[in-house]
Chain A
Amino acid sequence: MAEINRLTKDSGFKVVGTRPPRPDGIDKVTGKAKFGADMFAPGMLVGKILRSPHPHAKIRSIDASRAEALHGVKAVVTAADFAEKVPRSHQATLHNIMAHGKALYEGHAVAAVAAIDNATAKKALSLIEVDYEPLPFVIDVEDAIAEDAPLVHEGMITRGMDPKPEKPSNIESACEFGHGDLDAGFAAADIVLEREFRTEASHQGYIEPHACLANYSDDGNSELWCCTQGHFLVRDTTAPLLGIPVSKLRVTASEIGGGFGGKTVIYLEPVALALSRKSGRPVKMVMTRDEVFRATGPTSSSYMNVKIGITKDGRITAADALLFYQSGCYGGFIAQLGAMSAFACYGLDAVRSRGREVVTNRPMQASYRAPGAPIINFAVESLLDELAREINMDPIEFRLKNAAREGDRSSYGPVYDQIGMVRTLETARDHPHYSSPVPAGQGRGVAAGFWFNFGGLTAISLNVNSDGTVTVSVGRPDIGGSRAAMCQMAAEELGIPYENVRCIIADTSSLGFNDTTDGSRTTFANGLAIIEAARAAIKNMCGRAAKMWGIPEDAVAWEDGCAKPSGPNAGDFDPMPISEIARKAPNTGGPIAGHYEVNADGAGVSFGVHIADVSVDAETGRTTVHRYTVVQDAGKAVHPSYVEGQYQGGAVQGIGWALNEGYFYGKDGKMENPGFLDYRMPVASDLPMIEAAIIEIPNKGHPYGVRGVGETSIVPPLATIGNAIRSATGVRMTEVPMSPPALLAQLDGFKQAAE
């Protein structure tokens, strides 16, 4: 059986590992870069969406006649303007972009208008009459699983439960992972702790609201411009929703102002295209921040129970977790990923994790950076911290004692190949932060985290230009500077300067299908495809040099951007640089290109360990983070600055989630904090510098050893902060956010208990 081993180079890099300026840098610092809302078209209309004011309501009727009659209104669409039947994989999107008969959450789209300007469009929305029959609703996960909870979907029977339940419920699906004998494991334990944990939903919080510009054309040239993490996904979802062939729609990805998983879901594009189809004019749609909060994302809220047993010398004997994840109005896969990742850091003989996707009257759930993992990680790593305290063991030593190693069966099933958990822990232990004394008045916390990392469908094209420079076309939007890494890998393989490579994000009509920029896949999967494409181009160029020299093709090698004779029969020729081969290409076989198509495997899992020092104001419950360190395996850091950036950014999102972010719902089922004022993401003055320690354990799935780095960094912070608060105050927080009111209540309770 073929083991994946593509590793061809793990030292001697010339371009990979350096920190060149990003190719889109000047556009981005001068305001020239065009994001989703920055595109205009002649005759463009403004599209706006009417959204349900009720968290759950039957839509008896929609009367848009007054809106349609308003001067300046060019089109109104409702659910009736979209395809009736779509493939199973698009069903939820079809119902989410426009409510079909029932509004499932406050903010659910009910109708949309296109008008000559924003003011007219807004006025038109107010003229659409919707007859709602409000229904009982459910917002919180524990309410949703209660016996008598109102049902979000009547008659829904849980999938994946054995035996199959007979009674409908809000539990959409169930899953279970694990191995070994739990009862025996707990029986063998000296100490068993069991705790409940809860987390509130957090939003991805990208600064750029969703935006698109659609231009429908009956002649087969429909165009969409949008900010998305995956324009191929937009095309392949939008086309069937409108009942048009995929080839009739070309989607161009704008620059994207943040995504973090939130722009892997499609909201506006089919609506804008339907409005354009109906009005015959280009239609631009841009969400307000209020719409972003009420109708997109977020990730799950949760209620979890975790039980872990250990021996006195610190060996975990059994671990069990039950996860109820609030999965928005349609359910999904986040609890599954949570259950799979729950204990993935550890090598365990007896382990079980069970996930439940629970539907509620909240927006359709979206992925958020390592979806599902930070939530259960908070529970597991908090409980492990408690257990280490029980036996007075250093938390890193405790984790090292139980760390997953090569050959261990992972808690989600497969047996681990070579993995970096031990080295990540050792690096954290030896980091100057961890060996420094904890400053007076502060507490230190650590936690480990895991993420899978993905590869996936990738198609890229590489063209050698007439002057020997190179253009690489990739099919995944660049959300964090990935174009620089693409150019670096192409330059490395071709042996040419970084500046001689340009990387563009090609539209959907220019390349084969590419999976979305998510799952930490872009640098890994695009990278391996670029290297393979470069190799194809190199082989082609060596062949041409061989012909010109009149020697066998296998007597030509590629070195430093030149074809060179090599071997005993090669003869004596000066190296032929890529520029010369390119210039002569018209007479040696025509244009020179390489391309590569793959469903990339071998992304390689990654581990991270975070360290935080915090202090807590005992009278107000406010937590201040004084020092924070991220240790994580990058495989090979192609552009270390942007790898550090991923570590720092993920950590800060996690710190925000831990301390102050969270959805706040009123008794009426409506969100009360749909803005940046009261959805409190960290601001610059909330934070210290974030130290980023890159470990490089080569991933055998990539020619240069690269592994994904985008997501793991958001996994450990919730528990890291919770554990640091525990060190600083003696209080164990079991709910996120650990906001000042929540923490102060616990501190006061703790003080009273002590007195």
Chain B
Amino acid sequence: MRYLAPDTMEAAVAMLAEADGTSRILAGGTDVLVQMTSGLVVPDLVVDIKHIAGTNEITEEDGGYRIGAAVPSAAMNEHAGLKALWPGVVEAADLIGSTQIQGRATIAGNLCNASPAADSVPALFAANATARVVGAGGTRDVPVTDIPTGVGRTSLAPTDIIQSIYLPARPSGSGDAYQRFIPRTEMDIAVVGVGVSLTLDAGGTCTAARVALGAVAETAFLLEGAEEILVGSSLDDATLERLAGAASAACKPIDDKRGTKEFRIKVAGVLARRVTKIAAERARGN
């Protein structure tokens, strides 16, 4: 195995382009290293992108925030501005593994690892985030919702590297939230995860809504119809019950060591309702 630590994106892309065999991009490494030590992946090349300028930074941009691909979730949690604007995304990133893992794990890595249960992904979906991707053909911005395509699969080419994730500006009266269900209080993979982003008008009526679900299908997904259910409502109990029903209905989960199908379907609805309430509360405060 070779380990390379380039200092520009272009060099990194070129290394990947020239490499034979299996390559892995290394940011926090909390997934890549587990795959390597367990023997699941035996890479011939590891490209460490942490030495590339900007990958370790969170910068304000057009009222939103650009989060470098190597920024650990702990750093997101320490960033007051980001936390105020996108608390749901930050709390989702803050749920990835232990304190130790949060010192390394990145949301870009969480996205690229393409686990259906990745905690930050439903929150990013709900936030309508975009990924800046550098590849052989140059740089492009891709909605995060277009990136995961299946369990462990993405739409990215082998030479594509996510450089940063952009969380947009948002109108006042907005709030987001993420919760997952796990059997313990920490250290588990989500059995169900729900991210919600809302905007309310001054009267408390919902004007925009995105709801995303994780761990209940092959990839995280945006809940279709959530907008129709929520927008125009005051998020009353009946509306939230309809949302819960829609969330449960949209699940296509599996039975596994982490939970049964029935359990995931039911809890997806429960969380959709609970998380929407939290997001609404935050929106009312903004």
List residues of A whose CB falls within 8 A of some B CB.
122, 290, 619-622, 659-660, 664, 672-673, 676-678, 680, 682-683, 685-686, 739-741, 744-745, 748
Contact = CB atoms under 8 A, between A and B. Distances in A.
A685 B185 CA distance: 6
Contacts of A619: 266-267, 270
B274 to A, nearest CB: 8
A655 to B, nearest CB: 11
B100 interface: no
A680 B188 contact: yes
Contact of B185 (A676, A686, A740, A741): A686
Contact of B181 (A620, A660, A682): A620
Given A740-B263, A745-B262, A745-B263, A672 B257 contact: yes
Given A619-B267, A620-B267, A620-B270, A682 B184 contact: yes
A744 B266 contact: yes
B82 interface: no
Given A619-B270, A740-B263, A664 B257 contact: yes
Contacts of B114: none
Given A677-B187, A740-B263, 10 more contacts: A622-B183, A664-B257, A672-B257, A676-B187, A678-B189, A680-B184, A682-B184, A740-B191, A741-B262, A744-B266
Interface in B151-208: 181, 183-189, 191
B185 A660 contact: no
15 contacts: A619-B266, A677-B187, A678-B189, A680-B184, A683-B186, A685-B185, A685-B186, A686-B184, A686-B185, A740-B263, A741-B260, A741-B262, A744-B267, A745-B260, A745-B263
B270 A683 contact: no
B104 to A, nearest CB: 16
Contact of B256 (A622, A672, A680, A745): A672
A296 B263 CA distance: 31
B271 to A, nearest CB: 8
Q: Which of B185, B187, B257 has the most CB of A within 10 A?
A: B257
Contacts of A677: 187-189
B39 A680 contact: no
A678 B185 contact: no
Interface in B215-273: 256-260, 262-263, 266-267, 270
A740 B181 contact: yes
Contacts of B186: 683, 685-686
Interface of B: 38-39, 181, 183-189, 191, 256-260, 262-263, 266-267, 270
A708 to B, nearest CB: 31
A660 B259 CA distance: 11
A744 B191 CA distance: 14
List 5 tightest A-B contacts by C-beta distance, closest first: A741-B263, A664-B257, A685-B185, A619-B270, A660-B183
A289 to B, nearest CB: 10
B263 A660 contact: no
Nearest to B98: A683
A683 B185 contact: yes
B184 A290 contact: no
A748 B260 CA distance: 14
Contacts of A678: 189, 257-258
Contact of B183 (A672, A739, A748): A739
A740 B183 contact: yes
A125 to B, nearest CB: 10
B31 to A, nearest CB: 12
Contacts of B270: 619-620
A658 B168 CA distance: 45
B184 A660 contact: yes
A683 B188 CA distance: 10
B184 A683 contact: yes
B269 to A, nearest CB: 9
Nearest to B192: A620
Contacts, number: 57
A719 to B, nearest CB: 20
A748 B262 CA distance: 11
A678 B256 CA distance: 11
Contacts of B184: 660, 680, 682-683, 685-686
A401 B39 CA distance: 59
Contact of A744 (B38, B188, B263): B263
Contacts of A676: 187
A619 B275 CA distance: 14
A290 B37 CA distance: 11
A620 B194 CA distance: 14
B171 to A, nearest CB: 32
Nearest to A744: B263
Contacts of B181: 620, 622, 740
B36 to A, nearest CB: 12
Q: Which of B262, B263, B270 has the most CB of A within 10 A?
A: B263
Nearest to B256: A672
A89 B188 CA distance: 41
Nearest to B255: A741
Nearest to A290: B38
A664 B185 CA distance: 20
A620 B262 CA distance: 11
B257 A673 contact: yes
B182 to A, nearest CB: 9
Contacts of A622: 181, 183
A620 B185 CA distance: 13
Contact of B39 (A122, A660, A672, A740): A122
B39 to A, nearest CB: 7
A527 B189 CA distance: 46
Nearest to B260: A741
Nearest to B270: A619
Nearest to A659: B183
A620 B39 CA distance: 35
Nearest to A737: B183
Nearest to B273: A619
A748 B266 CA distance: 10
Nearest to B38: A290
Contacts of B187: 676-677, 680, 683
Contacts of B38: 290
A682 B183 CA distance: 10
Nearest to B181: A620
Contacts of A673: 257
Nearest to B97: A677
A175 to B, nearest CB: 34
Contacts of A685: 184-186
A673 B189 CA distance: 12
Nearest to B185: A685
Contacts of A739: 183
B103 to A, nearest CB: 17
A673 B188 CA distance: 12
Contacts of B267: 619-620, 744
A676 B185 CA distance: 14
A654 B238 CA distance: 41
Nearest to A656: B184
A664 B183 CA distance: 15
A736 to B, nearest CB: 14
Q: Which of B186, B189, B256, B258 has the most CB of A within 10 A?
A: B258
Nearest to B1: A119
A676 B98 CA distance: 13
Contacts of B256: 672
Nearest to A673: B257
Q: Which of A122, A659, A680, A685 has the most CB of B within 10 A?
A: A680
Contacts of A620: 181, 267, 270
Contacts of A290: 38
B88 to A, nearest CB: 20
A660 B181 CA distance: 14
A463 B256 CA distance: 59
Contacts of B258: 678
Nearest to A679: B257
A679 B196 CA distance: 30
Q: Which of B39, B183, B185, B262 has the most CB of A within 10 A?
A: B183
Contacts of A748: 266
